[in-house]
Chains A and B, each alone.
Chain A
């Protein structure tokens, strides 16, 4: 079975600084997707970034980038120039690629605080 582990329950970062959230996962599959989702207090899950396992290049979306280490099964999220609006729960997640509509498996989340 696939699992996703986030070992940092909470993190804090000063506004405008850079923070990295860690994630490891376990799977026997070779082809899959990895995601970072943001969940603000509104409860709305927002997709921040997606990485295809077959791509060696790390995904980036504006201030958000990932460090994908397939052999180590590690997938960290870097947030640059942190803003107050980045405060939220962040979930690392996994999905097999073989089925286009497969379920997503989530980690337990990291609560990110932004200090003004």
Chain B
């Protein structure tokens, strides 16, 4: 089936504006993750969903960042009052989230956010 999809692919916004980034996980995957990748850096974990609850929000950098998930499907990452340091690629991943063995995380292509 289709992989993880994210939209938009690229987003340019002005400092102080709010943005919403969308992630569509693989069908049937109950676990969903958001990561941030700053230029020249590795991925930083932001938040993890199991179904529509978020047992781990430890990576959200400030209260300007929030995320929600509808059932076991689409997730939206919202950044309020964007700052230039929020410029990064935001990657979403999903995994089966069931069973007792290892569940591979499958990544989307990311959204490149540029804050002017």
Interface residues of A (CB under 8 A from B): 4, 6, 33, 42-45, 47, 50, 52, 91, 93, 97, 100-101, 103-109
Query: 1/0 contact trace for B24-49 toward A, CB 8 Å?
Result: 00000001010100001111110010
Collect the chain B residues with CB atoms within 8 Å of residue A108's CB.
Answer: 40-42
Chain A residues contacting B31 (CB-CB under 8 Å) are: 101
The CA of A43 and the CA of B43, in the complex, are separated in Å by 11
Q: How many residues of B contact A (CB 8 A)?
A: 29
Instruction: Provide the residues of chain A in CB contact with B91, threshold 8 Å.
Output: 43, 45
In the complex, the answer to whether B50 meets A101 with C-beta atoms within 8 Å is: yes
Top-6 shortest CB links A-B: A106-B42, A45-B107, A103-B45, A101-B31, A106-B43, A43-B110
Which residue of the partner chain, among B41, B50, B95, contacts A109 with CB atoms under 8 Å? B41
Residues of chain A within 8 A (CB-CB) of B20 are none
The residue from B33, B59, B100, B109 contacting A100, defined by CB atoms under 8 A apart? B100
Chain A neighbourhood of B101, CB < 8 A = 100
Q: How far is the CB of A52 from chain B (nearest CB, A)?
A: 8
Tell whether, in the assembled complex, residue B109 and residue A109 are in contact, meaning their CB atoms are under 8 Å apart. Answer: no
Q: Is A105 touching B45 in the complex (CB atoms < 8 A)?
A: yes
Q: Does B13 contact A (CB under 8 A)?
A: no
Contact call B43/A104, Cβ cutoff below 8 A: yes
Q: Tell me how far the C-beta of B5 lies from the nearest C-beta in chain A, rounded to whole angstroms.
A: 11
The answer on a CB contact under 8 Å between B42 and A109 is yes
Residues of A within 8 A of B112 (CB): 43
A28 to B16, CA, bound (A): 41
